[in-house]
Structure 1
Amino acid sequence: MADIVGPETRSRMMSAIRGRDTRPELFLRKNLHKRGFRYRLQARDLPGRPDLVFPRYKAVLFAHGCFWHMHDCRLFKWPRTRREFWRSKLEANRSRDERNLAALAHASWRIGVVWECSLKGPARRDPEEIIDQCAEWLYSDRDSLEVAGYNCQK
């Protein structure tokens, strides 16, 4: 099936997608700040530039988009055009994520990931439940947290 927009339009649309200050990230920032958590944003000195860094808790939190990070859920679908380009790009994203998470774990950081599907789509969770899970994890001594939508494979 052909793309419904031309290549120039598709290129403009894709280039407008942000790498920071996304809706999921802003949701986490606003609600965790309301609960009294203080954090740094996009720490350049850490592998993967985590979206939120909580130095007091030695924890980082990523707000991952399901498409860009190849999450196994309904929100991820392989593009129908330029398949080889997208396959190599998305697989490179996934291997970079793995390297960055390993480097953070090696440096004794606790790592949390909140997937986009937990906040939107048919499998979304209650927003308060997501913030409760994040807050509980930050106060705990658990090494990792992963919040995905209901019925997600991961």
Structure 2
Amino acid sequence: MDTLTPQERSERMSRVKGRNTKPELVVRRLVTALGHRYRLHYGKVPGKPDLAFPGRRKAIFVHGCFWHRHPDPTCPLARLPKSRLDFWLPKLEANRERDLAKRAQLEALGWSVIEIWECELTRAPEQLTERIMDFLGPSQSAMKHLPPDRDEAPAAGP
């Protein structure tokens, strides 16, 4: 049973943001700290990824576990509400189906996509950093500072 009146619930729900959420800001800071540049809410591809890397054809979506139905059964943030399941279940399932369709469209265009879940930011931040590094590869700034490969070093003169 909801403890708020319908008007209070409506007021609260109207404050839910779709962009620049706290999880998204955390991921953006992390990606920037890793030396990568990106486009925000890139509208030139399906789904407007939260972070897009057009030159690499890579996209990151940062999902709230509740709103996007995190499929991990151990996620504490993905619980269904106790009331109005007839409203919430179709709504949240439609969100998830839309996410999967966007991903499929991007992949059909040759893009690689990862989803970062809100709970990953607190449950396993080190693993998340590794996952992002593996997905994006080295940054352009990191590439400039790598020593030359020994096989490609110029031969010494006489």
What residue number does 2:92 align with? 90
Measured in 2, the distance between the counterparts of 1:20 and 1:11 equals 19
CA shift, 1:85, in A, is 1.3
What residue number does 1:5 align with? 4
CA shift, 1:139, in A, is 1.1
Aligned residues: 135
Counterpart amino acid of residue 133 in structure 2: A
**Gapped runs of 5+ residues in structure 2?**
139-158
Is the radius of gyration larger for structure 1 or structure 2?
Answer: 2
Aligned partner (choices 104, 111, 128) of residue 113 of structure 2: 111
1:34-72 per-residue CA deviation (whole Å, 9 max, x = no partner) reads 221000000122211110001222100011111111113
SS in 2 for 1:130: helix
Counterpart amino acid of residue 49 in structure 1: K
Measured in 1, the distance between the counterparts of 2:16 and 2:106 equals 26
Counterpart amino acid of residue 129 in structure 1: Q
Matches within 5 A, 1:66-85: 66-72=65-71, 73-85=75-87
What residue number does 1:138 align with? 136
Measured in 1, the distance between the counterparts of 2:47 and 2:93 equals 15
What residue number does 2:46 align with? 47
CA shift, 1:18, in A, is 0.8
- Identity among equivalent pairs (%): 43
Measured in 1, the distance between the counterparts of 2:4 and 2:128 equals 36
What residue number does 1:31 align with? 30
Counterpart amino acid of residue 82 in structure 2: R
What residue number does 2:102 align with? 100
Contact between 1:61 and 1:112, CA under 8 Å: does it hold in 2?
yes
**Gapped runs of 5+ residues in structure 1?**
141-154
Measured in 2, the distance between the counterparts of 1:94 and 1:28 equals 21
Counterpart amino acid of residue 64 in structure 2: G
TM normalised by structure 2 equals 0.79
Measured in 2, the distance between the counterparts of 1:99 and 1:136 equals 24
Measured in 1, the distance between the counterparts of 2:121 and 2:22 equals 9
CA-atom RMSD in angstroms: 1.5
Counterpart amino acid of residue 9 in structure 2: R
Counterpart amino acid of residue 134 in structure 1: I
